[in-house]
Amino acid sequence: MFPIEEYHQASNVADAIQALSKDATARILAGGTDVLVRLHGGNSDYGRVVDINDLDELREIRMDEKGNITIGALACCSDIIENELVQKHLPMVAESLATIGGPQVRNCATMGGNICNGAVSADSACAALVYEFDLVVEGVGGQRIESINGFHTGPGRTILKQGDILTSFLVRPENYTGFSACYRKYAMRGAMDIATIGCGVALQMAGEKITTMKLAFTVAAPTPIRCRNAEQVMVGEVFSEENLEIMADELEKDVAPRTSWRASKEFRLHIIKTLAKKEIRRAVKSQGVAQ
């Protein structure tokens, strides 16, 4: 049995906000693939839960007439991966989520949870960063929109406050239309593993020239990050292998990998540079420029 001390099943978003704001230590329970694991391990920080699993309105995936795509925070990875809108417009979201855990985990785990628990290794974080997700948050003061840029503030930390609940992700058409995007997870195993490094890129070209490029990493710093210095090397330039090398050196200014039992700092830096080059090449190729 899970050591749950206090359990509240929220009946709607307002009810969840109320339950969370009157209990300073209450945590949101969504797909359960993080919270229940921690509870199983006896972590008492998770003993008081507000269960939002009944809020089916947070599972919706839809597009409005302007092309804004909404992905409900409670949509599970498998539903997002199999969604036609996502496959057509946000293929890298599907590609990233498919690297999480295994099938059973993906059938429960939510993208909302993956982003909100603040893990440095969150597989959907690169997609959120390169597609520049907006996060629709409801809280005591009503609804507000937060950018994914700056959302993560440290390992396991985000800007969300007690009483806040992420209800959906909003992806704007200018952030996906015409982009080629791809993600690669470097891990020791092909499934059921945590990323040693995750790398995502989205770019747009006009002829041979890269006009926009967004490069993001997980596990390369204390939070998932965008790499503005490296991006600048490539943007406005004709794609070339020489430029890729300069970009790889410039990356050292953007990242701050560390040594852990999974990998050393040096090895991580090597993987960061290698993946950046590989994924940029892959994205360039799918923009139609033969390599």
Partner 1 sequence: MKSMNVKFSINAKSYEMDVDVRKSLMDVLRELGYTSVKQGCGVGECGACTVLVNGTPLDSCLYLAVWAANKEIRTVEGECKDGKLTAVQDAYVEEGAVQCGFCTPGLIMSSTAFLEKNTVEDLSSEEIRKAHAGNLCRCTGYQTIVNAVKTAAKK
| Shortest CB 282 distance to partner 1, Å | 19
Does residue number 256 form part of the binding site for partner 1 (CB under 8 A)? no
* Residue 221, CA atoms < 13 Å, CB-side half-sphere: 19
- Residues 78, 158, 180, 223: which binds partner 1 (CB under 8 A)? 78
Does residue number 23 form part of the binding site for partner 1 (CB under 8 A)? no
From 64-72, 188-196, 200-208, 212-220, span contacting partner 1 (CB under 8 A): 188-196
| Shortest CB 139 distance to partner 1, Å | 25
**Do 115 and 135 touch, CB atoms closer than 8 A?**
yes
Cα separation, 270 vs 60, whole angstroms = 39
- Which two tokens mark 190? 């092909």
| DSSP secondary structure letter of residue 43 | -
Report the b/e string of 170-187 with b at 16+ CB within 10 A.
bbeeebbeebbbbbbbbb
- Residues 65, 66, 84, 190: which binds partner 1 (CB under 8 A)? 190
Residue 40 or 62 with smaller CB distance to partner 1: 40
Q: Which of 271, 290, 272, 269 is nearest to 281 (CA)?
A: 290
Does residue number 188 form part of the binding site for partner 1 (CB under 8 A)? no
Does residue number 9 form part of the binding site for partner 1 (CB under 8 A)? yes
Does residue number 117 form part of the binding site for partner 1 (CB under 8 A)? no
| Shortest CB 262 distance to partner 1, Å | 16
Does residue number 155 form part of the binding site for partner 1 (CB under 8 A)? no
Residue 37 or 206 with smaller CB distance to partner 1: 37
| Shortest CB 113 distance to partner 1, Å | 12
| Shortest CB 111 distance to partner 1, Å | 17
- Residues 24, 41, 65, 66: which binds partner 1 (CB under 8 A)? 41
- Residues 37, 188, 206, 256: which binds partner 1 (CB under 8 A)? 37
Does residue number 123 form part of the binding site for partner 1 (CB under 8 A)? no
Q: Which of 55, 72, 57, 70 is nearest to 20 (CA)?
A: 55
Classify residue 201 as exposed, middle or buried by CB count within 10 Å of its CB (0-12, 13-18, 19+): buried
Does residue number 44 form part of the binding site for partner 1 (CB under 8 A)? no
Does residue number 33 form part of the binding site for partner 1 (CB under 8 A)? yes
Does residue number 140 form part of the binding site for partner 1 (CB under 8 A)? no
Torsion angles phi and psi, residue 29, rounded to 5: -110, 115
Residues 6+ apart with CB under 8 A from 114: 77, 100, 122, 123, 124, 125
Does residue number 7 form part of the binding site for partner 1 (CB under 8 A)? yes
- Which two tokens mark 212? 């926009």
Looking at residue 13, its amino acid is: V
Residue 189: other Cβ atoms inside 10 A? 7
Binding site for partner 1 (CB under 8 A): 1-4, 7, 9, 32-33, 36-37, 40-41, 51, 53, 78, 101-105, 107-108, 190-192
